[in-house]
């Protein structure tokens, strides 16, 4: 019984890890695309734009993890 619970916990953590990585990547790419094509913004990628996109990706990752843990009732 304990082994089954550990297997389920490992599978849940793997899903959380994959979803968090996907959320980070999606937030990063979406921000870079927005900065590249949105009218009125300078269409230049400097380090500020890259850092901002990474911060948005981190925020998306955090929000995804918080939502999934709340939805599945796991702490952490």
Counting the structural domains of the chain, the total is: 1
Domain limits for position 37:
2-72
Residue the block writes with tokens 């019984």: 1
Mean predicted confidence (pLDDT) in 4-24: 85
Q: Does 1 have pLDDT greater than 60?
A: no
Q: What is the pLDDT of residues 25-76, one digit of tens each?
A: 999 999 988 888 877 777 677 888 889 999 999 999 999 999 998 887 755 5
Q: Does 16 have pLDDT greater than 80?
A: yes
| Alpha helices, H only, the chain | 2-37, 47-72
pLDDT at 22: 96
């Amino acid at each position: 019984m304990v082994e089954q619970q550990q297997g389920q916990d490992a599978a849940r953590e793997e899903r959380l890890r994959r979803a968090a990585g996907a959320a980070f990547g999606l937030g990063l790419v979406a921000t870079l695309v927005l900065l590249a094509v949105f009218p009125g913004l300078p269409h230049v990628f400097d380090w500020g734009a890259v850092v901002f996109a990474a911060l948005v990706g981190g925020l998306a990752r955090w929000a995804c993890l918080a939502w999934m843990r709340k939805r599945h009732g796991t702490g952490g």
